[in-house]
Each structure stands twice: as C-alpha cells, then as structure tokens.
Amino acid sequence: MNVFNTILTGFKEIWAYKFRSLLTMLGIILGVASLVAMSALVKGMEVGATEALVAIGGLQKFRIEAQPVPAEQRYLQDQAVGLNLQDVEALEANATLYTNISPEMSIPRVTLSANGKNSRPWNCSGAWPVILEVYEHEIARGRMFNALDDEMARSVCVIGTEVRDNLFGSPEEVGREINPVGETININGQAFTVIGLFKHYESEQERREREAAAAQPRGPQTGPARSRGWGGRQGSFVYRFKNNSVYLPLNTARLKLAADPAGGTPNLTSIEVQLVDLSRMNETIQQVQNVMLSTHKGIRDFQFRTQEEWAERIDEFIRNARMSGGTIAGISLLVGGIGIMNIMLASISGRIREIGIRKAVGATTFDVFLQILIESVVVAVLGGLAGLLCAWGLVNIIAEISPTENEPIITPWALVVAFAFSVAVGILAGLLPAFKAARLHPIGALRYD
C-alpha cells in the first residue's frame, strides 16, 4: 500500500468519525493556537521594547553622571568639582573612541507659560546642538539652535510636540496643526522664542492607532464639552519623555535658568558619550574614566551608565516570557498528544477485526503500523492547521481586549515551529497505538469480537 493511499484511508477514517476526530484535534488546536499566540505576544513586546531602545538613541552610547563622593574619599569632598565643561573639553582633547560628546544641564522644576496656559515639561535642558544626534531627535518645523546661539546665549528654545499641545493645543483638538515657531514662551518667567519643533515621537503601534482614529469621521459634538481626564495623547514613557521636552542652548540655560545663587558656575547634570563601536564600549569607558580621573584629581564623583543594562533587562524579560509561555503551550500540546494517543488506542481496540481482515488480505505488519501512525499524524496535521487559524483569531482577540501597547506580531517562524510541533506530537502519539495494532496476530484479530 503506498503512502498516498494510506493518507487517503486516514482521512476517510477521520471523516467517518467527524465529531470524535474534532474532539481529538481540540487539544492540538488549543496547543498550537496558544503557542502561536504566546509567541506573537512576546514578539510584540520585544518589538515595542526595541523600538523604545532605538528611540532613546540605541545602545551605542553611555552617560556620565555625577554621583556623591564615595565614602573612602569623603575627606576630599571639598575638592570635588562635579561635572563641568572642563571635563567635556578634556575629553574632546584627549579621548579618541567617541563620535559625539554632549553635555547636558537639566533644569529642575520648570514651569512654561504661553498663550494663557501653564505647563510643566518632563524635561527641560540646556544642551549643545549635537543633542539631536545623541537622542535621535528630528526637527519637524523651524530649526535647531546652533553653536552661535549657544555662544551668544540667545533666548531661544526647541520644544517637543506635547509641550506644543499643552500650550497651544494639539492637532487632534484644534483640528489643524499649530506651528509654534516664532511664538514666545516663558520658562520660569523668562521669555524665550520658540525656534524649532521636534517631530512627534511615537511607537509603530501608537502611530497606527492615531491614524485609525484620524480616519474615523468625527460626528458633530453633542452636549457640553467634557474633560476627558488625562488628555488624549498617552503612549509609552520613552516617547512621551521625548515629546514633553524643551531644549535650549547650554550657555543660555547656564546663565538664565540655572544660575547658582552663590555665584559659582553651575554644574552639568550629565555628559552623554556616543561610541565609535559598540564592541569597544569597555575600552571607551576606560579611556573616558582615565581622562575624567585626571581632571577630577582622582576623586570619583562621577559614574557611568550604559543602556546595556536596559537591553539586558529587555532580553531577560523576553526570555522569561518566552520560556514560561512556551512551557504552558508545550504542556497543552503534550496534553493534546495524549488525547490523540488515548483516542487512537480506543479506536484500534474497536478495530481489531478490521486489522485482522486487512492482514488476511495481505497487509504487512508495516502496512498496519503505517496506517495507524498516519491516521494519528493526519489528525495532528489537521489539528495543527486548524490551530494556526485559531491562533490568528486568538491573536486578534487578544489585541482587541488587552491593554498592551504592543500589538502582537505573528512571525512565520512561530507558525512553522508550532506546526512542526503538532506533527511531532502526532507521530509520537501514534507510535504506541500503531505498534500495538501492528503486533496483532491475524487469527486472533479475525476472531475478535
């Protein structure tokens, strides 16, 4: 008997007992569906996390931050200078393994006011124009401040879209895009001219949601306008942080906003160093540390912070999610396989006579073995295919009801793996029943009632 005929026989057998076969398949269907759905969810999270990582400028940089003088150097505390522009100059002069160095002076507790509205941005910093590259910023309107603006400490600033929305109104509310370039805003009571607007940062998922919302026709407003609570634009932290930012030239910030009441030069909050090569991270940190220790007279009042920790946390989280989800889905596939084995065993004990007849007319042991095995595999394959369909539905339902920001993504690889698992389960589950059936003696099987 050739394989094609055997498969055909398997299909007939399944078709003859439709309901029983469906129940048998159910385990596999659920197993495959949960495997694919799990992997899609984890993939969605991974993509979201990677997007966010890229949005803050990727892995290829580290940050020098001020830290309290360590305990063993406490007696040198009055010698500690903190981060300042001398460090930046020293690094530019002596370090080699960097592409950009970006000093930053963050102004705490800032209040913006313009257009009769107040707003508190999440981040207001004085910086060099190079901040554009370091934080992956893009100018949508106007221009970035330049070195001249910095040198002359001009009262100019570049704002993110959420700052614009808060002060001038968002396109969603106003119905048109407001260009804030040229407007004057007050930062802590001092007037600044807006010379540029960053583009609106959002994850892929947020972009799609926004576009879908924009595509919906707006009905005429009925009833009084109500506050919708927390404003329209939400989104993950990284993007909001970038959108809710104000940048001004470093010198402007130093002179106008961060002036030390005691008259000293205010310190930088951080220095961002962009690497030449990610693989030379440790070398670069070492080099920077050498320079810094010399300018700081050996006082360790600074620390390095890399994005690798974050990347590792993402990796670990993804690994854990995949592991636990995979285990659960694997167990349900296993249960599905046991279900198949159970039904196949029950089915062959109801078909002993049939097996006897087949053997009497010339079926070999192997023919019978193959027939039962293929029936089991056909059940598993059909279950696997149905499971893939169900997975698609399941993923859509999950995407609909779950509050996760990251849309689940079905990868072809997950489909292939899930399907291969279902076939493997079918083969494993069929082995024992097929072996039992094939071993039956023709006479005993023929006489069996």
Partner 1 sequence: MALLELRNVSKLYQLGGEEIRALDDVSLDIEGGEFISIIGPSGSGKSTLMHILGCLDSPTRGTIRLDGTMIHDATARQLAAIRNRKIGFVFQFFNLLPKLNVLQNVELPMLYSGVGGRERRERALTALQAVGMDNRARHRPSQLSGGQQQRAAIARALVNNPKIIFADEPTGNLDSHTGTMILSLFHQLSAAGRTIILVTHDPEIAAVTPRRIEIRDGKIAAKIDAKLAGLDRVSPAVPQA
Binding site for partner 1 (CB under 8 A): 1-2, 5, 12-13, 16, 353-354, 356-367, 442-443, 446
Closer residue to partner 1, CB minimum distance, 159 or 355? 355
* Nearest distance from C-beta of residue 436 to partner 1, angstroms: 16
From CA 36, how far away is CA 22, in angstroms rounded?
Answer: 20
* Nearest distance from C-beta of residue 5 to partner 1, angstroms: 6
Q: CA 277 from chain center: how many Å?
A: 24
Q: Helix or strand or coil: residue 267?
A: coil
From CA 23, how far away is CA 3, in angstroms rounded?
Answer: 25
* Nearest distance from C-beta of residue 360 to partner 1, angstroms: 5
Is residue 113 within a helix (H) or strand (E), and if so which, with residue range?
strand 112-114
* Nearest distance from C-beta of residue 6 to partner 1, angstroms: 9
Closer residue to partner 1, CB minimum distance, 225 or 361? 361
Closer residue to partner 1, CB minimum distance, 366 or 413? 366
Closer residue to partner 1, CB minimum distance, 95 or 446? 446
Cα dist. 149→143, 246, 279, 413 in Å? Answer: 11, 15, 36, 52
Among 75, 69, 93, which Cα is nearest to 303's?
Answer: 69
User: 305-337: b or e for each residue (b if 16 or more CB lie within 10 Å)?
Assistant: ebbeeeeeebeeebeebbeebbeebbebbbebb
* Nearest distance from C-beta of residue 385 to partner 1, angstroms: 24
From CA 134, how far away is CA 247, in angstroms rounded?
Answer: 13
Q: How many C-beta atoms surround the C-beta of residue 402 within 10 A? A: 13
Report helix angle 18-55 to 308-349, nearest 10: 180
Closer residue to partner 1, CB minimum distance, 12 or 297? 12
Q: How many CA atoms lie within 13 A of 398 on its CB side?
A: 23
Closer residue to partner 1, CB minimum distance, 213 or 443? 443
Q: How many residues does the chain have?
A: 449
Closer residue to partner 1, CB minimum distance, 14 or 257? 14
* Nearest distance from C-beta of residue 364 to partner 1, angstroms: 4
Closer residue to partner 1, CB minimum distance, 207 or 441? 441
Take residue 381 and report the two structure tokens written for it: 């394959």
Closer residue to partner 1, CB minimum distance, 364 or 411? 364
Among 318, 405, 382, 371, which Cα is nearest to 6's?
Answer: 371
* Nearest distance from C-beta of residue 354 to partner 1, angstroms: 6
From CA 380, how far away is CA 372, in angstroms rounded?
Answer: 12
Closer residue to partner 1, CB minimum distance, 11 or 304? 11
Q: CA 221 from chain center: how many Å?
A: 36
* Nearest distance from C-beta of residue 22 to partner 1, angstroms: 18
* Nearest distance from C-beta of residue 9 to partner 1, angstroms: 8
Neighbour-count burial of 187, counting CB atoms closer than 10 A to its CB (0-12 exposed, 13-18 middle, 19+ buried): buried
* Nearest distance from C-beta of residue 19 to partner 1, angstroms: 15
Look up tokens 């963050």; give the residue: 106
